[in-house]
Amino acid sequence: MPRFVVEADGGSRGNPGPAGYGAVVLDPATGETLAERAEFIGVATNNVAEYKGLIAGLTAARELAPDATVLVRMDSKLVVEQMSGRWKIKHPDMKPLAARAAKILPRAQVTYEWIPRERNKHADRLANEAMDAGKRGEQWEPSRSTAFAAAPPAGPPGDAAKGAAAVRAAMASGGGTGTRAAAAAGTGADTLFGATDAPSGDAQARAAEAAAVRAASAVARDTDTLFGAAEAPAEAPAGADGTGPRPAAGSDGGHATRTAAGTGTAAGTGTGTGTGWGPDMGAPATFVLLRHGETALTPQKRFSGSGGTDPELSPAGRRQAAAVAEALAARGTVQAVVSSPLRRCRETAQAVADRLGLPVAVEEGLRETDFGAWEGLTFAEVRERFPDDLQAWLDSPKAAPTGGGESFTAVTRRVSAARDRLLSAHAGRTVLLVTHVTPVKTLVRLALGAPPESLFKMELSAASLSAVAYYADGNASVRLLNDTSHLR
């Protein structure tokens, strides 16, 4: 079942006075804008405009997928409480509007959440554009809207859409205070296990502007690794530009196409130190991402997902689990351990948890992709037996493996939902997630705002460590990718 977020707002310049509404439909997995609606409605009150914005947003969501579940986010406490059934609707102008909104989608498919006004800027901007158009004697036109660039969407935690939009807005405004604010929103000066000191004055402005450029380029925003400063990446081996053959993104052997990211350095290494000094948003939630140790299938580079034999760790895999357990115990910062339900992850997680003196929780959403009929086969064997299906899978994230497996689009939704649940449960904590190739790469991809094809351009070794920090404003920072120093 599809999932959408609807953000809606309305305003009146006079209350009552010239009024308009705005609404946006977002993909909760990526933060992508799926639809925008806005209209000048003549003379009306704020509440009438807000309800009409809600109606427009729900209607747009229904047009996209009538069976979708929808989370409505508004900064109108009145509308949220009334539509949730907690407040009575007394005003005669509100009753028909509320009834109309309630009929657009079945009640079981819609939930409501109040958000502060500063998190509803996209819809607010659309409403103001509609009122501005009405003042000119016109109606709002989507082609002339600047709402997305000017008001970054309040995307789900860990997606780069919000931070990237802030950077675009700051760069469009010519820098200055806006650039510094955008850089602060899109980056973080905190290292993985501590904070750096913030400079002041011109140095702060220059650093923030440089951070904005890096964020706009969709690179990782910090050079800190899990256990120290990142070294410069080695020269990328042949095929790192993606021109060579592309292997299975979620095969148990990782990716044969290697990139500089596979050297164990932080993604997006730069020449600067900590970046993006801004308001203190508190300690981020940090997910330390551990790919499980080797199984018998790993060195053979066979597809091994959640629809296969669920193999145990090999002797080499158990040694790897013990090594990473010692490394994490020496660091002493992990506060909770969460594992995929598959055996190879639970065994890896238990080895670490026993060393740290922590229990292991299981999260179903962290399981590997179901590779259908490809389970247990090598990439070459799949190419020989199912060439058309394999090519479709390589070409589109919506294509599923032969025999009813999961597409990368489906996996992204599942992993995103698991991420959100874990962030809610572990705010401000450092949590070890023991999982698989595709979930780790998906979390990194979403944090960077990278396209789906980037899954084929990341190396992820068995028992490797990666890390992503998630901030309270919805931004994320990739701190580490494919570190295997503890295995050497």
Which active-site residues does the annotation give? 292, 368
CB-based burial label for 106 (10 Å; 0-12, 13-18, 19+): exposed
Pick from 469, 225, 192, 227: nearest CA to 327: 227
Pairing between β-strand 3-12 and β-strand 465-470 as defined by DSSP bridges: unpaired
| Contact indicator for 376, 368 with CB cutoff of 8 Å | no
Tell me if residue 34 falls in helix, strand or coil: strand
| Contact indicator for 286, 190 with CB cutoff of 8 Å | no
Helix intervals (H) in 17-105? 46-64, 77-83, 94-102
Task: Report phi then psi at 318, rounded to 5.
Answer: -70, -35
- What the block records as the tokens of 361 is 């929780």
Pick from 233, 216, 180, 191: nearest CA to 449: 216
CA pair distance 161, 183, nearest whole angstrom: 14
| Contact indicator for 72, 111 with CB cutoff of 8 Å | yes
CA 395, 266, 273, 242 torsion: positive or negative?
Answer: negative
The residues, any chain, with a CB within 8 Å of residue 12's CB and separated by 6 or more, are 18, 19, 44, 45, 46, 48, 49
How distant, in Å, are the alpha carbons of 40, 233, 397, 417, 438 from that of 412? 37, 28, 9, 8, 9
Q: Return the C-alpha torsion angle 166, 167, 170, 175, nearest 10.
A: 150
| Contact indicator for 287, 431 with CB cutoff of 8 Å | yes
- What the block records as the tokens of 268 is 């997006």
- Phi-psi group of 42: left, alpha or beta (phi > 0 → left; psi -120 to 50 → alpha; rest → beta): left
- What the block records as the tokens of 462 is 């068995």
According to DSSP, the residues that pair with 35 across neighbouring strands are 25
Cis peptide before 245 (omega within 30 of 0): no
CB count in 10 Å sphere of residue 220: 26
